[in-house]
Every structure is written in C-alpha cells, then in structure tokens.
Chains A and B, each alone.
Chain A
Amino acid sequence: MQETEQEKECELRRLEECIEAHPDDPSLRFELGVLLWEEWDTKEKAAEQFVIAAKLKPEIEKGGAFRYLGIYYAGLDSQSHSQRALKCFQKAVSLNPDDSLSGEALCDLLDQQGKESLEVAVCREASQKSPRAFWAFQRLGYLLLHQNKCSEAVHSLQHAIRGYPTSPHLWEALGLAYQRLGRFTAALKSYGRAIELEGTRIFALLESGNIFLMLGSFRQGVEAFQQALEISPKSVSAHYGLASGLLCLAKECNNLGAYRWGATVLEEASKVAWMCTQLAGNMSSIWKLHGDIQLTYAKCYPWMEEDHSLEFDVEAFDNSILSWKRTCCLAAKTARCSYQRALHLSPWQANIYADIAVTSDLVDSFDNSPGHELSAWQPSEKMALGALLLEGDNSEFWVALGCLSDHNALKQHALIRGLHLNVSLAVAWAYLGKLYRKQGEKQFARQAFDCARSIDPSLALPWAGMSADFHARESAAGEAYESCLRAVQILPLAEFQMGLAKLALGSGNLSSSQVFGAIRQAMQRAPHYPECHNLTGLVYEAQSNYRSAAASYRLARYAITNLPGSDRKSHMTDISINLARSLSRAGNALDALQECEDLKKEGLLDVEGLQIYAFSLWQLGKTELALSVARNLAVSVSTMEQTSAAASVVFICRFLYHISGLDSAINSILKMPKQLFQSSKISFIVSAIHALDRSNRLESVVSSSRYYLKSHEEITGMHFLIALGKLIKHGSEHRLGYQSGIDHLRKALHMYPNSSLLRNLLGYLLLCSEEWNDTHIATRCCDIDATNPSKGGLKSAYEILGAGAVACYAVGNCSPKFSYPTCTCQCLNEPGAIQQLQKCLRREPWNQNIRYLLVLNLLQKAREERFPCHLCIILERLISVALSDEVYHNTGMSYEYKKFQLLLCASEICLQGGNLTSCINRAKNASSIMLPDDCLFFAHLLLLRAYALECDTVNLQKEYIRCLELKTDHHIGWICLKFIEYRYELQSDLDILESSFKECSKERMNSWNRWRALFILVQGLISIWSQDIISAEQFFAQACSLAGDESSLLLCHGATCMELSRQGCSQFLSLAVRSLTKAQKGPLIPLPIVSALLAQAAGSLGSKEKWEKNLRLEWPTWPQEMRPAELFFQMHLLARQLKASSASRIEFCQSPEKWVLRAIHTNPSCMRYWKVLQKLVE
C-alpha cells in the first residue's frame, strides 16, 4: 500500500517536472489531468489541466479532454455549468461520433431541457458520421419510435442491435415498431428474442400475447399471459389478456360443439376476469369482458347426462334439467349484472346496451316467466332501443332490435332499416328471410336467404332456412339434408342439429356419424325438448345400440311429461312404441311387453305395436296369447297401406311357422288373398317356407310373388334360397342333395358371375359334397380378393379357402417342401392358404372360425415339414387359447366338433413331441365329447397310436377293439387302422376290418375306386414288409388298375417289379418300365426316384442313351437340401461319360471325383463310394 502511494507520488512528481520542462505539450497536460482525475480525485485541478490541453490542441485523444470537461461541468449543479457541459459534450461528439458516453450524456442533457428535435438532430448527425455510433442509432430508434415514425425507427433499431445484440430493450423496441407497422410475425420474433434475453420482460410478454390473440393462436397467447402473470401477479393487463384469451379459446371449442371443454375453459376465464375486476373495478372494459365470459358460459353450459342414465326416473330427470337451467340462468344473470356495471361506468358505449338487451332476452328464455303484456316494452327491446338512440346509424343495432323485438312489424322495419344502412349485411338478410318464412311468404323468404348466402356463405342460418325450404318441397330430401349439414357444421346450434337428425330420418342418413355427433351435442344444449331425446333414440337404433336407444326414449318420455300442449298424447304414443321396439330388439321382452300392455290399456296399440306385442308374448312363452294378437293383426291387414301391410304379412308368416309349424303356415298362406304377396320381402318368406315343404303346395304363390323381385341383390338372394331349397328337396333322409344345389348355382352364376354370395355358397356346397376332385374347384370359385368382405351368406371366401386347403394340401401350397402332390388338378397359382387366413385374421382378429382353420392349416404344414419345433410351439399356443375361448363352452354340434378337432391337434402335437401322457389325456378328453361314433373313432385311433408308442399292450388291444366297435365313415380311418394292426400284430378277424371298409364306402361312388386302390396299396406294403414281394406286386398291379393315373401307385408298382427282376424274374422288367414311364409323365411336380429307377431299368435293357437321359431328369426332381448321396454318386457315373458337346450339362459342372466326394460327404458310411473314390484317385 505504502509502495503504491509512493509510486503515485513519484508519477505525479515526474509529470509535473515534465510539464515544467515543456509547458506547451498538450499530451502531457492531458496525461496529468487524467492522473489527477482518476488517481487523486482532485477534479478541479484536473479540469484546469484539461482546459489547457484543449486550448493547446482541441482534438487531443479524439476529444477526450472535452469529455472529461463535460462530465466535470455536468457534475456542477448550475444552469451556466450545464450549458457549458452541453457545449463540451457537443465538441466531444463532433470530434468522435463513436463516443457513446459523451453522446448519451449530451442527449440526456438535451432531454432534460426538453429539446427533443435537437436531440434527434445530434443523433442523426452522429449516426451519419459513423456507422459505429451505435449509441446514436439506439437513441434515434427510441426517439423515432416515440414520435411514432415506425419504419425509420425500425432501421435505426436494427442497426443499433448490431452494436448491442444482447440488449432486451432494443429488441423490445424493435418488436413494438414492427407491431405498430402491422408486421406481426416479425414483432413476435423480436419480442421472443427480448424474452429469451431477459425472462422478465413483461411488456414483451403482454404484447406478444396480444398479437397471438389477434392472429388467432389463442393457446400460445394464453401461455404468454400466464407467463406474464407469474412475473407480475397483480398486472391488470395480464389478467385481462388471459381472460380474453381463454374466452376466445372457449368460443373455438364451442364452435366445434365441445361444450364441456368450452365450459371448463370458461370457468377458468371467469375466475381470472373476476380477479381482474378486483384489481381494477373501475374499468368498464373489464366488466364487459366478465359479462362476455358469463354470457358465453350461459350459452354453452352443457346438460350432463350421467353414465347410469338407465336409473333416471322422472323426478331425477326433472331435477337435473332444473339444475342445468338454473346454472345457465345464473350465469346469464351474472352476465347482465356485469354488463350493467360496465354501462354504469361508461354509459356512452352503445354496444353495452345491445349486450344487455341480448342477455335479458336469454334470461327471459330460461326463466319462462309467464306472459308479458304485449303492449308493454320488454327490457330487452328497451335496451336495444337505447343502443340505437346513441348510435342510430349502426346497422347492427337495428338487426339486434329486429331479433329481439316481439312485434313482427317492428322486426321487419328494424331489419329493413339495417339493410338501408348497409345493404350487404348478410345477417339482416338472413333474419329477414326467417321472418318472412314465419309469415308464410316463401318467395320473399327464399330471396332473402339467397341474398344472405351470396354475401356470406359462412353464415349458418340461410343454409338452415334453405334446408327447411327443400324439406317443404319434399322432392329433395338429400339436398335438404346437405344444406342442414352445412348449417350444423358452421354453427352447432341445437335447433339445427335436431333438424338435421329429422332430415336424416327421411333421407336414410340416420346412422351417419355427423348426425350422431350433432344429436349428442344437441342433447347437451336442449335436454328439455322431448324430440331431442326421441331422435337420439332413433339414431342409436340405427346404430343397433338398442339399450342406449331405450334409455333415450325413456328420457324423451320424462321430458314430454313437463311439456304443455295438445298433441302431447300422440307424441307420447309414438315414443312408447319406439321404446317398446328398442326394448324388444335389445332382448328385454319383459319390459317391452309391459310397454305394449300399457299402450293397449289406453287403446293406442297400432300395427307396429301389435307386432311387438305378439313378438314379446311369444318370447316369454305365452304362445296362445301371442297367436290371438297375431290374429288381430291379420284382421287389420286388409285396411293397411301397402308397405305396412307387407311387413305385417311377413311377420304373421314367420310367426305362424315358428309357433304352429310348417303346415299351419302353408295353410294360412294359401288362405290369404293373392294381392298381398306383391312385395319382394314376402316373396322371400314364402320361398323359404316353400323350400322346406316337400309337397310343393306353395308352387303357384311362390312363382307369382317372384315377379316382384327387382334389384340385382334380391335376385341373387333368391337364387341362393332356391339352391338351399334344392338341397333339401332332392336330398335323402341323411344326406342333402348337394349335386342339384350345385347344378342350380352353376347356372345362376353363369347369369350373375360377380355375385360373391352365390360363389361362396357354391364353394361351400362343393366342399360339403365330399367328392374327390371338388376341393380345388371350391377354392377356385370363391372370390378372395374382394376388398370388403361381403356380409351375408353361410361361409366367407376365406373360410372356404381355409377348409379347402385342409381338405387338400396341394391347394394353395405353391412351393411344397417335403411332399410331392401327385394329383393332376392342383392349382399352383393360388394364394397360400396360411397367408390368406392370416390376412383375414388381421382384419377380424375376433373371428374364432378363422383361427380354428389357421390351426388346422398350420398342423398340415407341420405334418408336411415333419413337425419342426417352432411350428409345434405356435400350434400349442394357438390351440390352448382357442380351447379356452368361451365360444367352445357352447353346446352346439359344430362347436363340439371344432373342440374335438382342436383337442386331436393338440394331442397329435404332444405325440410328435414325445409327451405321451398329455397326448393320451387330450385324446381321452376328445373321446369323451358327445359326438357321433364316426368322429370318436379318430380319438381312439390316436389313443391307439399313443399306447403303441408306450408299448402298453393291454390298452392297445382295448383301443383296437373299441375302434372296430365304433366304426367310421371315413376310409382313411380304416386304412390307418390297417397299418397299425399289422405293425403291432393286433389280434382280430381281418374280415371285420375289410368288410367295414367296404361298407363305409357305399355312399361315395365316385371315389370308391381310389379308396380301394389305397387299401390295396396298404396290403401290398404289408406284403413287402413280410418279404412277400410276389404278392406285393400283385396287390400293386391291382391298385394301379383301379386308379390308373395315380403316379405314386405306379412308382410302387415299378419299384416292386424292379426288385423282382433283380431277383431274376426278367419278365418284370418291361412291366417296371411301363409303370415308371407312366409315373414320370403323370404329375405336374415330377416325383423323385422315378427317373432314377427308369434309368436303371433302361441300363439293364442296355440302352445307354435312355439311361443317361433319365438320370439327368432325376437331378432336378430333388429339392436342393434333400438330395441323397446316391444321387451324387449317380451323377458321378454320368460325369464320367465325357462328351465335348454336352459340357454345359449339370453333371459336368464338377469332376467325377468331386461328385463322389459329395456323395461321401452326404453318406460317409457307404463303402461303395469309398472304393470308387479310391479307384478314381488311382
């Protein structure tokens, strides 16, 4: 410390000495001045030095001396000194325009003296002199902004920001300048930057909030205001902005019809606005805002239908309506109060009068205060007049008066005055149209609406008016609906929405979502109108939601009880019938019956009511009563109009059939007058009854009624029915007449080739008919590619494909891996069944039938691929879920059968996986299901196999006997049994098995030979196993003669003959060649081994060329991963026949050694290959 003091002393002394030496050196003087100013704080002495320095050389240190002097004088508090300071600073700035300190000080001084124009001039001069005089730009920008010269201000401020990029003030000012210029997005960006730099810029927050509201981004605006409120919780403008932002948001919600959402937002807004009134209760605009919020709340507060609406009783309903009305009314009254306060504060504002008028009107509508005297002025009218007295030339006030007045003449006058003032006022035209419509002057009304619509197409009222107009003309139901829909979309008003539902009823759009949404919204705003609930019920019914429909009708009935009016009773009847119908459809027969009986007591049961009555009685088991009601109905049929008569006749026919049976139904139909049957619906019913009747009593009625089938769908539907009828009529006791049904469908399909209904039925029948060759035709005739699965019909195309693929694995299996389908009728181009079923499952994951078929198909695939592990796991899982599905708890025959099949699948997989206990358990489970013996056979067959694997001879024998006892209609069962019988040497009479086999095949003549061939094949195989090759050959020859074109049989025969000729019976060689050649030509997918054997035979006969050719044919018949060692070895033989011309052939792709090596690699245990290799190497 001491030292620095000493240093300072030294420095001072040194400088003083220097000055003494050179008294005329200005820089030394300046240096001394600075030293005295900074270090010694003796400003007076310093100032002396600066004065001298400035005199000697004014431009020293770029006017630094003047700056110090300016500061010095400014510090001295007197008028003359400040003048002197001003001059010093001016000098300093003119010498160095970048000197922000002097510049700011100068401007401050000028500002103090109120010389604003001088200030601007100084800044402008400095800014022109140097682009780096940022202080000047900044100052200039602020000043220009202050003077409202915004576009210039923007330039200055932008320049200044380059100098001070982190100054939030500058950004804020720039934002304001942009805002005043109307460049809102730029303004938002600038404000955003300011807020970013300093989070507490409340001005920027408020202004950006205002801009957001102006631009319609209410949510962001609300956020900005909320942020502002956090910084300054007492800010009136933040409160005001937040409340108005929330109001705008709520209005947006309400325009969508989201009333509940709007109401919650408004509740919050109201709180905020109330806070605001507490902060500044003397501002009329705040009270007006509060009034606006409450008014909107009153207009949007929804009636909440509680979730358990079924439990509503009259009282609860009334109470809930009352409390809803009270809430709305309270809000409206609060709004009126707030408006009155606003008016009290600023009674010169005409629009508040109008607001009060509107609110009063709303309060009156909620209050239902009984009859004002017509002559007296109502408060709403009076207030509207008040607004007009203040601003008589405001057309909107005239419109308001026109709306609020009760006198038609005054209304018309007011609206026309409004139009005088502003001819393009769409609202006025619209209301004028409404007025004319009410007075019955349709021509004028339409003109007025057209005017309104052409001026402003986004106004809802003219659309609604037009819709009513269309409706009146009756010809254009669709147009009326469209217009009304537009009105509803523009403005979700309950009246429009109910109108929409009513129009939808007429034009058949009742199940459309728009109507549903509209009527549900209408219910929130007009719960006291019975028609609103009634329409809701109808919409629910159109969507098949009968429970909710019934609940709505009940509400409608509650609402109507409160309603005065003369036609109450007829409405009540209609609603009651609606209720009874939906109850009946919902399956609630008891309540439906109760409703009908109530109606009957009052004598109001009409045709529809009678039908419901009879139906409910029947459902409850009171058939006698039901029949008598039906008879009543029949009596009144003759007096009905066409459509309801048809419905009644259909009802009576079905009813009679169900209660008293076929004969009674036919008799009554024959008794009915012919002219009743002139409708397509009746035609269907009559035809269905006719189909069941074997004695064809209704022939004439049916043929005459079919004349009334018109549309494409109806005709194909009728063909469907006829085909089913033929099944019954041409069938025997136990079998349906499939062939005649199929024939009919084929003819019908020729006429209507794109009817998927007929196609699917044909496919189904072909599958059912169990003929050998029909499965692939069945799958081919159904149309899977249809984008939308058609409803109706017995089975879908997917189900037929799935079932067909189960029946014949070649269908839809485009790349068989391990099997060689030999039938000539395969359809290799068909889509894969497993994929198609998965596609279907993706569409309808709840469809158990498809899931079941997928399981069966996967099992087929697993069986082909020798039960690979991953497939078994999937199957296990799929089956366990399928079995746990509640569908299979049903006790229908088809469910039982599916369950049985699934259990067998599960059991089979366990068997393959070696899990014998659970295999046996499941098979036992399956065998305990109540099914015909025919099916149960297979459960026991599986048990048999399981016991065989377990070597449980006692049970084995038992199951075998059980199988023989049960018998089956399926040949394959007997064939399997035959196998097992031989394999495990089971004791029984051979004859039983064979005779049963012959017995079961009587029905299906077409395939009998094939089955017999198969059975003989098994016998042949058994002979081979017992080394009796001669008789085996005889069996095979017999089988081939029965089913001549079956390649696998021919292969067996050929191979056996080869074996025999090898043993020395050379006459068999030619037989072998014949069979094998046939087998080679037969199937689409060539069988392996056939060509190899043929080659061998040719070789034995000495034809080397044929040997080569056949051997070459053998190669591609094997899938790559399955080629046996012998094949490679044979190829080596071929390869050794080196020929130059045939170098491209397969056998020359590698050397003979390589072929042998590959053979050894595949089967290293064969000594023959090793020996050949040895020779080759040598």
Chain B
Amino acid sequence: MKLAGLKSIEDAHEESVWAVTWVPSTETRPALLLTGSLDETVRLWQPDELVNQGKMTGHCLGVASVAAHPSGHIAASASLDSFVRVFDVDSNNTIASLEAPPSEVWQLRFNPQGTMLAVAGGGSASVKIWDTTTWNLFATLSIPRPEGTKPTDKSSSKKFVLSVAWSPDGRRIACGSMDGTVSVFDADRGKFLHHLEGHFMPVRSLVFSPVEPRLLFTGSDDTHVHMYDAEGKTLVGAMSGHASWVLSVDVSTDGAALATGSSDRTVRLWDINMRGAVQTMSNHTDQVWGVAFRPGGMPGRLASVSDDKSISLYDYS
C-alpha cells in the first residue's frame, strides 16, 4: 500500500483547518470534500483538483468538527460555541440548528444507517444522540462516574468527551475522553457497556474498522495508536512512531490501512496487518488536525488538513 500526493492547496482557508470529512457521492455529483476551519467557515471541494465548490458561513467561532450523512445530501458542522448547524450540502440551506451549552459539542458522527447523529458531549461527559428525522435529542449516553466521587467533584472534567465513533453495523458507539479512557456503549439500548484502558492522555480520534465491527482504532496524545477488541475489552495492538500527539485517525475502506495525522506535522500510513508504519508524509508545515479516506470504491483517496491552512489530497493504492 502506498500514498502518492495528488494535489495540495495552500491557504485553502484563511486560518487553521481543523476538520475534514468526505461527503458521499449522490446520483448527480461525485463525492466532495468538506472542511471546517478556525476562520468560521465550512468549505466544499471537488476532487481531484480540489476546486472550491462553495463556502458556508454561519458560525461565530472556529469550526471544530464536520460530519456528512451517508446519503451525501446532508452535512453537519459544529463550532466552539457549540452550535451544530445541519445543512443541505448542495443548496447550503440550513435544515436544523442544534444547540448545546458551549464546551458540550465536540466531534460529530452520523451513524452508518443515517438515522442518528452522535455528538461527543465534551464537558457533559456524555454522548448526545440526535434523531435525524425530527432533529430532537434522542438519547444521552453518559459515562458513569467512578465509584466514590461526588457529582461536584472536579474529576468529572477529566471525562471531557472529545471524540465519538459508530461501529459499521451501527450497534456500538465508542467515545474517547480527556483522561484517555475509551467508553463503549450499546447504541440500541442506550447502555454503557465498558471502558477500554490503555491510553493515559486525551483520545482525540477513534474509528471502527469498516470490515470488522469488533476492531476499534484510537489515537491519543500519548503518541500511540491503539487497536482494541471493543467487545472483549482487550488492547490487541499498539503502534508507535509519531513524535507528538495523534490528532486524527481513519481506516481505509478495505480495512487494511490506517492513516493518522499528528502534532508532529506528519501524516502516517500504517499497515494494520504488519502493525507498522509504511509511509510518512511530511508535506504539512504545522500540525495535522484531520485525515479522511474517501468512502466507497476505487480509486482510494485520502485527504488531510492542517493548522498551516492547507488541504492535501493523496492517492491511496
């Protein structure tokens, strides 16, 4: 497996680019790249030339996360003041505006069936699930407090939820917290199942393998990428190589490769079977906040975004 640079756009945004996702293709157009930035805008890009397809404003602070509905028609973006804006990708009409107290919206993810939107609830130490038909709050999955702590205890802020992921069958939700714990929930019953241990610094990104619903990949500030058996609570692999925080992870659609973006300004490609890095891309000049593989068929594409205001697109083969 290999990455080859295709296109890079300097100054794609006016400020640091913080979030990236692929909007799946629809009948009328191919898959598009969606990015969110500190400059308070969300922009759409057409691969492979990365032609700007539109700029969406409407946030008052930096955009920390973007997510795309599996249908490819709807996307959501969230900013630091915790407004989630759900909009139509092609017309940029606002469909819904979900409000939460600031610091209680972090990463967003639609479930693979497209019926729910999971929001990493930051300081509320929970994951909020929104129904995508009515846009009402459907459930709140709270991380249980450790025994013997009072509700007013300061330690609850340690459970600040940064990241969230759905398993490919939509039955499990995993979320990563600031103290390094990863919590697994049963999505159907809205029940906490267990913690996955091993990280001891913030887990900023996690993703399930698209081919194996039990496998979960996590990236953490402790510079490691972990591979968990999410059902059996077992750490089955740890991959190290980054020199600084791992900010973002994503798995390729064939489930064979993992890409990570890091504070050490590199993007790395990992062979999951070998459990080792096979390639390091160092074309960014500042920390890489997001990496995303294009869903669906060949040819494989990987996008990365960085604090250096640029977007890069790679061919993955």
A interface, CB within 8 angstroms of B? 219, 253, 256-261, 264, 307, 310, 489, 511-514, 516-517, 520-521, 524, 543-545, 547-548, 787-788, 835, 838-839, 841-842, 845-846, 851, 870-871, 873-874, 877-878, 880-881, 884-887, 889
Partner of B287, one of A310, A520, A787: A787
Given the contacts A787-B264, A871-B60, A877-B101, A514 and B200 also touching, CB distance less than 8 Å: no
B235 touches A517 (CB 8 A): yes
| B16 interface contact, C-beta 8 A | yes
Contacts A788-B244, A846-B160 given; indicate if A520 touches B234 (C-beta within 8 A).
yes
- Interface hits, B169-211 → A, CB 8 Å: 178, 180, 194, 197-200, 211
> Restricting to B59-74, which residues have a CB under 8 Å from any CB of A?
60-62, 64
The reply to whether B240 and A512 form a contact with Cβ atoms under 8 Å apart is: yes
Q: Are B244 and A787 in contact (CB under 8 A)?
A: yes
The answer to whether the Cβ of B157 comes within 8 Å of any Cβ in the partner chain is yes
With A513-B198, A874-B81 known as contacts, the answer to whether A846 contacts B234 (CB < 8 A) is: no
16 A–B contacts from the bound complex (CB under 8 Å): A256-B227, A264-B231, A511-B222, A513-B198, A513-B222, A513-B235, A521-B234, A838-B80, A845-B123, A851-B103, A874-B81, A878-B81, A878-B102, A880-B101, A881-B102, A885-B123
Known A517-B237, A851-B103; contact A258-B232, beta-carbon cutoff 8 A:
yes
B122 — nearest CB in chain A belongs to which residue?
A845
Nearest B residue (CB) for A545 = B200
Minimal beta-carbon separation of A306 from chain B (angstroms): 11
Residues from chain B with a CB closer than 8 A to the CB of A258 are 229, 232, 234, 236
Chain A residues with CB below 8 A from B237, complex form: 256-257, 517
The binding surface of chain B is classed by DSSP as loop
Residue pair A513, B103 in contact (C-beta under 8 Å): no
Contact flags (1/0) for B218-249 with A, using CB distance below 8 Å? 00001010110101111111101000110000
Which residues from chain B contact A846 at a C-beta distance below 8 Å? 103, 122-123, 157-158, 160, 178
Question: Is B312 close to A, CB under 8 A?
Answer: no
Cα separation A887 to B156 with both chains bound (whole Å): 11
Task: Enumerate chain A residues within 8 angstroms of B233, measured Cβ to Cβ.
Answer: 260
- B275 contacts chain A at the CB level, 8 A cutoff: yes
Q: Which chain A residue lies CB-closest to B40?
A: A838
Distance (whole angstroms) from the CB of A1078 to the closest CB of chain B: 37
Beyond the given A517-B237, A846-B160, could you list 10 further A-B residue pairs with CB under 8 A, ordered by the A residue number?
A257-B235, A260-B231, A521-B234, A788-B245, A838-B62, A839-B16, A842-B38, A842-B64, A846-B103, A870-B60
Classify the secondary structure of A's interface with B: helix
- Neighbouring B residues of A489 by C-beta, 8 Å: 275
Which among A513, A514, A871, A887 has the greatest number of chain B C-beta atoms within 10 A? Answer: A513
Which of B15, B106, B154, B234 is close to A259, meaning CB atoms less than 8 Å apart? B234
Number of A-B pairs, beta carbon distance below 8 Å: 143
Cβ contact within 8 Å between B200 and A260: no
The distance from the CB of A539 to the nearest CB of chain B, in whole angstroms, is 10
Name the residue in A514, A524, A842 with the highest tally of chain B Cβ atoms < 10 Å from its Cβ: A842
Interface residues of B (CB under 8 A from A): 15-16, 18, 38, 60-62, 64, 80-82, 101-104, 106, 122-123, 146-147, 152, 154, 156-158, 160, 162, 178, 180, 194, 197-200, 211-212, 214, 222, 224, 226-227, 229, 231-238, 240, 244-245, 263-265, 275, 286-287, 289, 307
| B235 and A842 within 8 A (CB) | no
Closest 7 CB pairs of A and B: A260-B232, A513-B238, A517-B235, A543-B200, A256-B236, A258-B229, A513-B224
- A569 CB to closest chain B CB (Å) equals 32
Contact B16 A513 (CB under 8 A): no
Contact between chains at B162 and A845 (CB < 8 Å): yes
Q: Which residues of the other chain, A, contact B229 by a CB distance below 8 angstroms?
A: 253, 256, 258, 260-261
Residues of B within 8 A of A513 (CB): 198-199, 222, 224, 226, 235, 238, 240
> Which residues from A are CB-within-8-Å of B123?
845-846, 885
Contacts of A870 in B (CB 8 A): 60
- Report whether A838 and B232 are in contact in the complex, using a CB–CB cutoff of 8 Å: no
Report if A886-B102 is in contact (Cβ < 8 Å); known contacts: A513-B199, A517-B236: no
Q: A259-B234, A261-B214, A878-B81 are in contact. Are A886 and B244 (CB under 8 A)?
A: no
A877 and B102 contact, CB distance less than 8 A: yes
- Cβ contact of B18, chosen from A259, A261, A842, cutoff 8 A: A842
Cross-chain contact B154 with A841 (CB below 8 angstroms): no
In contact, A877 and B81 (Cβ under 8 angstroms): yes
CB-CB under 8 A for A257 and B244, given A845-B106, A878-B102: no
Question: B175 → chain A, closest Cβ, in Å?
Answer: 14
Q: Within the assembled complex, what's the spacing in Å between the Cα atoms of A885 and B199? A: 26
Q: List chain B residues, Cβ under 8 A from A880.
A: 101
For B146, the chain A residues whose CB sits under 8 A away are 547
CB contact between B101 and one of A256, A874, A884 (< 8 Å): that residue: A884
| Docked complex Cα distance between A521 and B222 (Å) | 20
Cα distance A991–B94 in the bound complex, in angstroms: 60
Distance of A870 Cα from B180 Cα, bound (Å): 36
Q: What distance in Å separates the Cβ of B104 from its nearest Cβ neighbour in chain A? A: 8
Q: Is the CB of B263 within 8 A of A788?
A: yes
Complex-state Cα separation, A1100 to B263, whole angstroms: 64
